[in-house]
């Protein structure tokens, strides 16, 4: 085995082998010591690290699951200022929480947070639970998030295995296998557990591993020359850190053309509320739907509005084209100005609908792509004359 590593003593493991790795505890102690010293001197001062209250720590962990720190720094204080306690969040309607989440994406996180706050009120009399089993039973909290919350707040010896920590461990141990495989995940959890077990403070250890992944052992260009634990790293010793973790080539995302109606009536536009479950659940949007093969977009808009809302419209003029990518597909929204002609909206799938003046749409939570349509309406200053 070349160079310095890691925490496994003895011969190399057979790839895919289920055997337990012999752990060199002195090496773990030396690693933990170097990491803790680096963290103390280099950690970012982030607001959620200034508290040991479970609710704000939980909130920050949920926000950080799929969002960059810089973005969370803007959303986190606003959310906490409106909902300073778990109880305040539980008592508020979901629509208010979604409004504060607007623009951050992955709205299931917000719906689960809100649902979990209500469950904590019901099941635990408003006190965030202490036990791992009770915490992972809450919606939106997996093993890694539970480990983060309980180690940061209560110093429980639970590992974290988010994307940053996983990358660091894979490079430290030069694991050249697909991290999506269950056996590889189990190995990573075991290694993380061994390390947190030997740490002086589980909370600080987990934070420092996450920070190392975020600041030094980054995905594209790891800064190995500045790394406090390079002497323990197999990937560094072998000269190939940026080749790990192995990534599967992503399939191209499917693309859909969507016809969208901005339906005007007496200076108001029609918006509808998406079902609570599923993509963008609980957010407002302009009605519309997928173009069928060979269909002209204005025909798509007329057909979708008739099928989804049961009303007749006239499509009057193109408004704006918005492109947007979700995690599993891409869309191009072709928004058209329309006039309401006849019928009372009777949504087939939406939870509700309303006529609203464009200047009042700020009060509703919209997905990002619909926000761009609203911005266009405001800039254009269209009054609904069609
Ligand atoms: S030496 Fe490089 S690859 Fe290894 S842990 Fe440090 S930054 Fe990551």
Are 336 and 259 contacting, i.e. CB atoms less than 8 angstroms apart?
Answer: yes
CB distance 227 to ligand 1 below 6 Å: yes
Distance CA 56, CA 63 (A): 10
What percent of the chain shows pLDDT beyond 90? 89
Adjacent-strand bridge partners of 322 = 333
217 against 378, higher pLDDT: 217
Q: Which atom of ligand 1 is nearest to the CA of 167?
A: 8
CB distance 138 to ligand 1 below 6 Å: no
Question: Which of 163, 222, 232 has most ligand 1 atoms within 8 Å of CB, for mutation?
Answer: 222
Ramachandran angles phi, psi of 155, nearest 5°: 55, 35
How many angstroms does the Cα of residue 206 sit away from the middle of ligand 1?
A: 16
Question: Minimal CA–CA distance to 288: which of 370, 385, 179, 184?
Answer: 370
| Buried-state track 118-143, b at ≥16 Cβ within 10 A, e below 16 | ebbbeeeeeebbeeeebbbebebbee
Is CATH 3.40.50.2020 the right assignment for the domain spanning 255-380?
no
Q: Name the superfamily (CATH) of residues 25-243.
A: Hypothetical protein; domain 2 (1.10.340.30)
Name the least confident of 13-22, 41-50, 65-74, 191-200.
13-22
DSSP 3-state of 336: strand
Q: Which atom of ligand 1 is nearest to the CA of 223?
A: 7
List the structure tokens of 290: 């997928």
Q: What is the mean pLDDT of residues 202-217?
A: 98
Adjacent-strand bridge partners of 315 = 338
- Would the CA dihedral through 277, 280, 283, 286 be positive or negative? negative
Are 289 and 304 contacting, i.e. CB atoms less than 8 angstroms apart?
Answer: yes
CB distance 90 to ligand 1 below 6 Å: no
Distance CA 284, CA 282 (A): 7
Distance CA 291, CA 257 (A): 6
Adjacent-strand bridge partners of 258 = 290, 333
- Which pLDDT does position 21 carry in this prediction? 64
Q: Which atom of ligand 1 is nearest to the CA of 234?
A: 4
As annotated, the active-site residues are 61
- Which pLDDT does position 22 carry in this prediction? 66
pLDDT tens digits along 301-352: 999 999 999 999 999 999 999 999 999 999 999 999 999 999 999 999 999 9
Q: What is the mean pLDDT of residues 223-244?
A: 96
By the 10 Å C-beta count (0-12 exposed, 13-18 middle, 19+ buried), 35 is classed as: buried
How many angstroms does the Cα of residue 213 sit away from the middle of ligand 1?
A: 9
CB distance 237 to ligand 1 below 6 Å: no
- Which pLDDT does position 25 carry in this prediction? 86
pLDDT tens digits along 161-176: 999 999 999 999 999 9
Residue closest by Cα to atom 2 of ligand 1: 224
- Which pLDDT does position 81 carry in this prediction? 98
Strands (DSSP E) found in the chain: 255-265, 268-273, 284-285, 288-290, 312-325, 330-342, 352-356
List the structure tokens of 381: 């200053």
DSSP 3-state of 313: strand
How many angstroms does the Cα of residue 70 sit away from the middle of ligand 1?
A: 23
Mean pLDDT of the chain: 93
Residue closest by Cα to atom 1 of ligand 1: 230
Q: Which atom of ligand 1 is nearest to the CA of 226?
A: 7
Are 313 and 302 contacting, i.e. CB atoms less than 8 angstroms apart?
Answer: yes
pLDDT tens digits along 67-83: 999 999 999 999 999 99
- Which pLDDT does position 382 carry in this prediction? 54
CA of residue 236 relative to chain centroid, distance: 30
Question: Which of 233, 234, 240 has most ligand 1 atoms within 8 Å of CB, for mutation?
Answer: 233
How many angstroms does the Cα of residue 73 sit away from the middle of ligand 1?
A: 27
Residue closest by Cα to atom 8 of ligand 1: 217
306 against 24, higher pLDDT: 306
| pLDDT range class, residue 119, cuts 50, 70, 90 | very high
Domain boundaries, the chain: 25-243, 255-380
Find where tokens 């010793």 sit.
Answer: 237
How many angstroms does the Cα of residue 301 sit away from the middle of ligand 1?
A: 53
- Which pLDDT does position 4 carry in this prediction? 46
Distance CA 81, CA 282 (A): 22
How many angstroms does the Cα of residue 235 sit away from the middle of ligand 1?
A: 7
CB distance 244 to ligand 1 below 6 Å: no
CB distance 214 to ligand 1 below 6 Å: no
Q: Prior bond to 245 cis, omega within 30?
A: yes
Distance CA 56, CA 307 (A): 44
Distance CA 63, CA 97 (A): 13
């Amino acid at each position: 085995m070349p160079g310095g590593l890691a925490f496994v003593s003895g011969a190399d493991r057979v790839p895919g082998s289920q055997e337990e790795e012999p752990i060199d505890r002195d090496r773990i102690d030396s690693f933990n010591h170097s990491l803790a010293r680096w963290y103390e001197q280099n950690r970012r001062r982030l607001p959620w690290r200034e508290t040991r209250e479970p609710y704000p720590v939980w909130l920050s962990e949920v926000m950080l699951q799929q969002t960059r720190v810089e973005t969370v720094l803007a959303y986190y204080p606003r959310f906490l200022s409106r909902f300073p306690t778990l109880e305040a969040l539980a008592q508020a309607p979901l629509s208010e929480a979604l409004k504060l989440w607007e623009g951050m994406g992955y709205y299931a996180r917000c719906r689960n947070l809100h649902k979990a706050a209500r469950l904590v009120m019901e099941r635990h009399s408003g006190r965030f639970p202490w036990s791992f089993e009770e915490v992972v039973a809450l919606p939106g909290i997996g093993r890694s998030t539970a480990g983060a919350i309980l180690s940061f707040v209560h110093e429980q010896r639970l590992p974290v295995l988010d994307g940053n920590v996983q990358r660091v461990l894979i490079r430290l141990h030069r694991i050249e296998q697909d991290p999506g495989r269950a056996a590889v995940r189990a190995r990573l959890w075991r290694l993380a557990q061994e390390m947190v077990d030997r740490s002086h403070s589980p909370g600080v250890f987990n934070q420092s591993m996450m920070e190392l992944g975020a600041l030094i052992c980054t995905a594209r260009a790891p800064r190995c020359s500045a790394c406090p634990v390079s002497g323990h790293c197999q990937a560094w010793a072998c000269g190939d850190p940026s080749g790990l973790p192995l990534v599967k080539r992503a399939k191209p995302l499917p693309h859909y053309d969507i016809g969208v109606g901005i339906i005007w009536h007496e200076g108001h536009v029609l918006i509808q509320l998406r079902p609570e479950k599923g993509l963008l659940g609980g957010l407002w949007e302009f009605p519309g739907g997928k173009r069928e093969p060979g269909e002209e977009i204005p025909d798509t808009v007329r057909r979708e509005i008739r099928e989804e809302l049961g009303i007749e419209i006239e499509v009057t003029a193109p408004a704006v084209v918005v492109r947007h990518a979700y995690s599993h597909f891409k869309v191009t929204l072709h928004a058209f100005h329309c006039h309401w002609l006849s019928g009372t909206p009777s949504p087939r799938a939406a939870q509700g609908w309303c006529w609203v003046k464009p200047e009042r749409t700020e009060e509703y939570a919209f997905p990002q792509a619909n926000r761009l349509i609203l911005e266009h309406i405001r800039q254009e200053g269209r009054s609904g004359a069609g």
